[in-house]
Structure 1
Amino acid sequence: MIRLSWLHIRSVVLGGGLLALASLTASSALAQSYPNKPVKVVVAFTAGGTTDILARMVAQQLTDKLKQPFVIDNKPGAGGNLGTELVVRSPADGYTLLVNSVGPIAVNPTLYGKLPYNPLTDLVPVVQIADVPNVLVVHPSVPAQNMDELVAYAKANPGKLNYGSTGIGTSSHLSSFMLGKRVGFDATHIPYKGADALKDLLAGRIQFMFATIPSVMQHITAGKLRPMAVSSLKRSRALPDVPTVVEKGFPNFEAGSWFGFFAPKGTPEAVITAVNKAVNEMLTLPAIEQQMVAQGADPAGGTPAQFGQFTQREHDKWRVIVRESGARAE
């Protein structure tokens, strides 16, 4: 039987307490000092896209608030996988962060089969920036003024409609796949690389597509595209007069995009807390809120835990849809 003296027990307890206090003190000091040098914010897509626009908007506010530059670094490629892996492999010190979207986090793990990393476990969710619904838009040559008329026309003309997307397995592609499956109409999918899909839609070479609201807002306003419905559960604040697909009789149809901050696994909790707090405070500013809504984005926010639970649900949802569609990355 091992007997421990009171002095030994006391030394162990005190030692543990001192270690905990030291850890708490170090965490507090880090929170107060972070950041003390420029922070690189990787965007896994090209400049000018929705991810890039939102990232730059937030980065500027963080620069002003935290008194250190938050510098955008665009690293596009492989559907967002290249930039995402770059951050996964980066030092977990809080000075390399990632602004990412639904594709690389929730869709690509299924679409690409076997990635050399797991975005759900190799990255730490920090804070959701915004929800950006997809909007179903048609070229004015399509004889449909609303969703009901579009469905009726598509059913009466099987195989005659072409829809575009920004690539196989993207939210744009899978939204249309979901709609066709739920409605029961036959249309031909034509995948593009990024913005080329919108160019052909505006030219009338394809008839409809789901697109992020920021990418088509100006064309809707100009009457060059006709909005049919949005893919969020609630109406978009940017297009309040456009109904949701759910309202048109298709329950649980939710297939929009979302955007948020992530950090490499192992990033100190104090850094996660500091960035989360700063972004949440920024999202409550009326000017930022108005700017986001004007861009077609609905500000989100919330805790890291909430964002982590959300990304897991999104991964589980898109895994089923990708498998049903048969989509595989080329």
Structure 2
Amino acid sequence: MNIPNPSRRRALLLAGAAAFSFCTAATAQTYPSKPVRVIVAFTAGGTTDILARAVTQKLSEKLGQPFVIDNKPGAGGNIGTEMAVRAAPDGYTLIVNSVGPMAVNQTLYKSLPYDPLKDLVPIVQIADVPNVLVVHPSVPAKTLAQFIEYAKARPGKLSYGSTGVGTSSHLSSYMLGQRSGMDTVHVPYKGANVLNDLLAGRLQFMFATVPSVIQHIRAGKLRALAVSSEGPSRSLPGVPTVAEKGFPGFSAGSWFGFFAPKGTPASVIQLVNKTVNDVLPSLQEQMVREGADPVGGTPEQFGQFAQREHEKWKAIVRDSGASID
């Protein structure tokens, strides 16, 4: 076997490093050279889909290639998430995902064939979207305190809807009931159909994402009592937080951001991160009007945030007893 001398070996290593650097730089310069598929693990028209479409339109304009939304709903977001996990890590499949598939479902579902926080890499957080506690106008309460008093005087009589067992809307109501002593009935739905029954008065209240109900609040069809975020929502000025109304530490909002399959080139992650951060200011007015608070930041910040959310929701899901086979 012909073993090169030390000088020759160093030269080969330097040449290899240079070639790797060149390839990385070339990827950054040429990406994207064809359309990019952006998976959304939920139906068209939902909060994840609306935010993804707003941002991908700007990405298409800035980077000169279509960023095409591909809705793959089902199993609480697990179907679309697994598709992203299994996709080639070449930068041409990304996913805009949310708190459920990334931070809740690992604990909620008895067995997932992947680990979203290990098999997907964070790119950038798009937005925080608080949940808002809304009641049907037939409920006389005008404040959170009045609502809790009203509910506690009617144990087992009030029903709340959610977009499914173990979703943020379900667990937000569970947390409030646990901490306030309310005895209410959970009625899970598949997706956004819950709003129809809430608007019709067949349900009395729910925690819903602000974008899904903000127009109904403005029209007087629903009454907003409190938001579930740590701080006030720019989209609903004047609506207090649950935390400031007697439940310190109460935080149960939703969030959304870009992820990529593990192994996606760092140059792609950096380019998409930078471009999203560049375009978010131009979307701020629209996003706040529709119920979302733009975030941005680095991949590292987003990854650390997602890990903290996983730990928080793991404890809440286990305490609630929620489970899906």
1:302 to 2:297 alignment: yes
Matches within 5 A, 1:224-243: 224-243=221-240
SS at the partner of 1:302? coil
In structure 2, what is the Cα distance between the partners aligned to 1:39 and 1:142?
Answer: 47
Cross-structure match for 1:103: 100
Moved more, 14-23 or 276-285: 14-23
TM-score by length of 1: 0.96
For residue 23 of structure 2, what is the amino acid of its counterpart?
A
Moved more, 16-25 or 79-88: 16-25
In structure 1, what is the Cα distance between the partners aligned to 2:20 and 2:150?
Answer: 65
Structure 1 residues not aligned, in runs of 5+: 1-6
Cross-structure match for 2:208: 211
For residue 133 of structure 2, what is the amino acid of its counterpart?
L
1:313 to 2:308 alignment: yes
Cross-structure match for 1:276: 273
Could you give the per-residue CA deviations for residues 57-78 of structure 1, whole angstroms, max 9, x where no partner exists? 0110000000000000101111
Q: Give the one of 85, 104, 123 matched to 1:88.
A: 85
Q: CA deviation at 1:215?
A: 0.4
Q: Give the one of 242, 245, 252 matched to 1:245.
A: 242
For residue 310 of structure 1, what is the amino acid of its counterpart?
F
For residue 295 of structure 2, what is the amino acid of its counterpart?
A
Q: Give the one of 310, 313, 317 matched to 1:322.
A: 317
Q: CA deviation at 1:284?
A: 2.1
Could you give the per-residue CA deviations for residues 76-121 of structure 1, whole angstroms, max 9, x where no partner exists? 1111100110111110000011011001111111111110111010
In structure 1, what is the Cα distance between the partners aligned to 2:8 and 2:178?
Answer: 68
In structure 1, what is the Cα distance between the partners aligned to 2:293 and 2:257?
Answer: 12
For residue 124 of structure 2, what is the amino acid of its counterpart?
V
Q: CA deviation at 1:235?
A: 0.4
Cross-structure match for 2:176: 179
Cross-structure match for 1:69: 66
CA RMSD between the two structures = 1.1
In structure 2, what is the Cα distance between the partners aligned to 1:317 and 1:52?
Answer: 25
SS at the partner of 1:141? coil
For residue 52 of structure 2, what is the amino acid of its counterpart?
A
Q: CA deviation at 1:308?
A: 0.7
Moved more, 207-216 or 149-158: 149-158
In structure 1, what is the Cα distance between the partners aligned to 2:289 and 2:324?
Answer: 33
Q: CA deviation at 1:205?
A: 0.7
Q: Give the one of 208, 216, 220 matched to 2:217.
A: 220
1:291 to 2:289 alignment: no
Structure 2 residues not aligned, in runs of 5+: none
SS at the partner of 1:151? helix
Cross-structure match for 1:257: 254
Moved more, 228-237 or 8-17: 8-17
Q: CA deviation at 1:162?
A: 0.8
Cross-structure match for 1:44: 41
Query: How many residues of Structure 1 are paired with residues of Structure 2 in the alignment?
Result: 322
In structure 1, what is the Cα distance between the partners aligned to 2:42 and 2:281?
Answer: 26
SS at the partner of 1:307? helix
In structure 1, what is the Cα distance between the partners aligned to 2:162 and 2:43?
Answer: 17
In structure 1, what is the Cα distance between the partners aligned to 2:5 and 2:293?
Answer: 58
In structure 2, what is the Cα distance between the partners aligned to 1:248 and 1:13?
Answer: 66
SS at the partner of 1:227? strand
Q: CA deviation at 1:327?
A: 0.6
Could you give the per-residue CA deviations for residues 21-44 of structure 1, whole angstroms, max 9, x where no partner exists? 221121111101100000000100
Q: CA deviation at 1:184?
A: 1.2
